[in-house]
A and B are shown apart, each in its own frame.
Chain A
Amino acid sequence: MAIKTQPVTVNLGPQHPSTHGVFRMRVMFDGEEIVDVEPIFGYLHRGSEKLAEERTYTQIITLTDRMDYVSSMLNNQGYILAVEKLAGIEPSPRGVWLRMIASELQRIASHLVATGFLLQDLGALGTPLIYAMRERENILDLFEMLCGARITNSYLRPGGVFMDAPDEFWPALDRGLDDIVNTIDELETYLSGNEIVFSRTKGTAVLPPELLINASITGPMLRASGVDWDLRHRAPYDYYDKISFERILHTASDNYARYWVRVQEARESVKIIKQCIEQIEPGEVRPSFDEVPRLIRPPAGDAYAAIEGSKGELGFYLVSDGSIAPYRMHVRASSLINLTLLREMLIGGQFGDLFVTFGSVDLNMGEVDR
């Protein structure tokens, strides 16, 4: 006997612990099934792009920290690359290696957070999240050694980084990398073979690769559908062309594939950092103030630079009118663009999968709203 049901509309968020910040969805259910989703965002809008128009190029670094606040080093890197392109700055080699190490560490931290919270949304209350956070804490300790701050780093400067790593950083980094590998092993024994994780994530929210490409989705979400697109390999910035690493691909394109790609990418990042440590050479970490002054005045023009952020292609577009502040700054926020397929992922699915799917996108409201 079919039960007669009636669609109900439920408001989820913005103050909901599972919405990764302040995200709001208007969801229409028919029984257990989702019939319609309307994402509503903008609750964390701080106008970073507008604020950038009245700050100098160095001061904007502090704004980029606060966009995607679980991967500030990567944001710094994307922005700095755009400034370097705009002003024609030749970076110092040691500075570039250091910022590659920092940004790969940040990628690991971000993927760990994504994994932890995905499992939290799955109902594994606390345990995997705490394991992931414990490891992230070690990475943040390394950042504190490097630049004195844990979250809002502002470590990078046009042309490199502001200060060389202290002596105690290198042994701590070696130890940290071993710990990271151990934690990832642990997470994998704990989760990758876990039947509950399998049954909850395999085959849910499957997206065809064509749709992902059409919606210009990037990052682990795209690679989980088998499309080999990684900017570190396709359009190497910094010294990624001197590094060899495997591109992690999965073909299933479901929630499990997205989780799996992130965990394996964290492993690859460890290998990248090890290669960076081998290749780094002593030297200056940033050009002298005669070459790159504190107050940069790029020639009029525009520049776009993109990096492979932890969530996808993170691009910064700067327009200069020849003054000390940009005329316009635009950020290609990967989280926001990855969110565009939320409706396709959720409609027809079960209510219980809603937050799992949402978590597998790995979005950060700071970046979505800016």
Chain B
Amino acid sequence: MIGLGLPRGFVVTLKNFIRPPVTEQYPDRHVGLLGAAKEAGMNPFQFLVKKPADSLKAIAGLATVPVAVKQSPRFRGNEFTYFEDRCTACASCAKYCPLGIIEIVSVPGKIDAQEGESYKLEVFDIDIGRCMFCGLCVEACPYDALHMGTNFERSKYVRDELVITKEELFDAPKRPSAFYRPQFEEKGFDPFKETIEDFHDAGRHEQKTYDELKKKWVDER
């Protein structure tokens, strides 16, 4: 109907005008007195009495609280989680990376009577400055040693600082993402609250049983 279109349109805009905002303020969100008191875990009166300076700031509209951005556990992000004890320096990750930004240098390591010969990893660098977080390196790792991280804040002033070294990976908080690691989803691991420090807790996503391995490597040969 000609003539009704515009008023109907204004009804829609009016409805949207009064609905709660969906925008997330990042990194901080401005709060009033009520919000600041809630953040401090007291009721507004307590807050007024105990922290007069902060309350004045909140009333003036200057108080901010950090925002927790809602992320999925599969988020493919920064700070790869890496378990050195599991890594065999096979360099599958380096070969699989479309950009070739993983650098691996390995040297012959110790010879163990039980486990045979092993390689020692000397360099394991990921040039995060060029990484596009596709996750193919994680998908390629046959021993579940490398996981995507869930962090996304890693701004630096110098490009060279963006290269993650083995030591840095070793010390970084281990908050692996559930990307290509269904075992984390099965046990309900929440990377935004907990960390996994020991590789034994990380689980394997497709661990073959002894019989399967025997069939593949002994019987079929």
Chain A residues in contact with chain B, CB under 8 A? Answer: 55, 58-59, 61-63, 127, 131, 134, 137, 141, 144-149, 152, 154, 162-164, 166-167, 186, 189-191, 193-198, 294
Contact = CB atoms under 8 A, between A and B. Distances in A.
Interface class of chain A by DSSP: helix
B57 to A, nearest CB: 31
A22 B4 CA distance: 38
B98 A148 contact: no
A154 B134 contact: yes
B180 interface: yes
Contacts, number: 88
25 contacts: A55-B98, A58-B96, A59-B96, A59-B136, A62-B132, A63-B98, A127-B13, A131-B16, A137-B22, A141-B72, A145-B74, A147-B74, A149-B75, A152-B133, A154-B134, A166-B74, A186-B12, A186-B16, A189-B8, A190-B9, A193-B4, A193-B8, A196-B6, A198-B5, A294-B140
A294 B96 contact: yes
A194 B9 contact: yes
Interface class of chain B by DSSP: loop
Given A58-B136, A193-B1, A144 B72 contact: yes
Contact of B182 (A63, A152, A163): A163
B124 interface: no
B13 A190 contact: yes
A148 B96 contact: no
B6 A148 contact: no
A198 B9 CA distance: 13
B135 A148 contact: yes
Interface in B172-189: 177-180, 182, 185
Interface in B94-110: 96, 98
B151 to A, nearest CB: 13
B132 A195 contact: no
